[in-house]
Amino acid sequence: MSSPIWVVGVGMTDFGVHEDKSHYDLAHWAVKDALGDAGAGKEAIDTVFYGTSTHGILEGQATISGEIAMRGMGIQRIPVHNVHNACATGSSAFNLAVTSVTAGESDIALAVGVDKMNVGDPALSMSVFESGYDVSDPQALTRTLQELGGDVDDSDVGRRSIFMDIYAAMARNHMRTFGTTQEQIAAVASKNHAHAVDNPRAHYRKAMSVEQILAGRALGYPLTVPMCAPVTDGAAATVICSDEGLRRLGSQAPVKVLASVIGTGSDRDITTYDDHITRHLAERAYQRAGVGPEDVDVAEVHDATAFAELTQSEMLGLVPMGEGGAAAVAGETTIGGRIPINPSGGLESKGHPIGATGLGQVFELTEQLRGNAGSRQVEGARVALAENGGGFHRGEEAVMSIIILGGN
């Protein structure tokens, strides 16, 4: 980036089940907290990028969610852009806000992510995942899953989203390729459940042993319920600004945006890892940020299942290929280890309100870089990375975001 771009304010609701709060209540909560953190009034915001992935499907508000939410709290007469990009919606809003500030269209931009997924109809909530792959050719998904994971008998497996079958097939391919074990995947989940105990905003805050996780209700092998993200409500917001915006606000705790990149997948041999979207995008992000994976002090990655963290840690270069499971068992990815991953508890425990997830990662990493994470603090954190994927298309994530932040 030609001139510095700064994160000057972050806000995040508690993640969980909010029966007494509407979609807009959650958005207002996060935005008010982010503005307060930035020391900014509502009138300071030049542009809003408002991310939601499920509002249209679950509540029928398929358009103008952002305009309604912002006017409802007095943010008016400025551009409001609605963003929808599967599970990478929040990080896409962040990327667009960074782009707007970089281009000089805004001095101060607001990125918002929110989804209320618990609407009293569990079947409807699960249906949102059905649009995360190519619905025009459902047999293609079946063929892809068989190519990745082979045939399995899941006749005794209960209700789950299609993405649990997708991650299970990807996990079985990794196990076949590298010898990864179910116990290693459970070690990732156990680590994240332990991290979430000290996160007051997390959906689940209960430590679980590897044995307890393996004993959980089976999903598609090798996954069990405690290895997977719950259905969560929540919102997060970030105030992003230029040097001029920083001078206007006088923020004393800015965090520098070193890189924010978005990419999509490509046609490739889906059983291999050399040409995966994450590897390409990570290379671009590291180059733009002027750092390498060895410089990353803390990371938040998209662990919709524990297996996803395991493989993404490898493709980001944080651990060698094929050694993600062993690294988790050895404690390398635990707070206090060589490269702490998901100190927030990750999606498995913090929760996964789809549109808010990417900005929830930014919230956690900003707190880490400021030294404000309390008992979850990664000592000496100076470079932080967030990886956030969305959807599934031809063997990999349909969209991927990588954000790299630097402490001041």
pLDDT, position 395: 85
pLDDT, position 228: 95
Q: Which position has the higher pLDDT, 133 or 372?
A: 372
Residues designated catalytic: 87, 352
| Helical spans, DSSP H, in 293-372 | 306-315, 324-329, 346-350, 357-370
Tokens 């978005």 correspond to 262
Gap between the Cα atoms of 397 and 389, Å rounded: 6
| Helical spans, DSSP H, in 157-252 | 162-178, 182-196, 210-214, 243-249
Inform me whether the pLDDT recorded for 21 exceeds 80: yes
CATH number of 1-408: 3.40.47.10
Query: How far out from the chain centre does Cα 153 lie?
Result: 31
pTM exceeds 0.85 for this model: yes
| 375 Cβ neighbours under 8 A, 6+ residues apart | 198
Gap between the Cα atoms of 298 and 52, Å rounded: 27
Q: pLDDT tens, 127-155? A: 888 888 888 988 888 888 888 887 665 65
Q: pLDDT tens, 206-265? A: 999 999 999 999 998 999 999 999 999 999 999 999 999 999 998 878 999 999 999 998
Phi, psi of 174 (to 5 degrees): -65, -40
Indicate the domain borders of the chain.
Answer: 1-408
| 332 Cβ neighbours under 8 A, 6+ residues apart | 319, 338, 339
Nearest to 397 by CA among 342, 316, 324: 316
| 41 Cβ neighbours under 8 A, 6+ residues apart | 35
Would you say 219 and 32 are in contact if contact means Cβ atoms under 8 Å apart? no
pLDDT, position 1: 46
Phi, psi of 404 (to 5 degrees): -120, 125
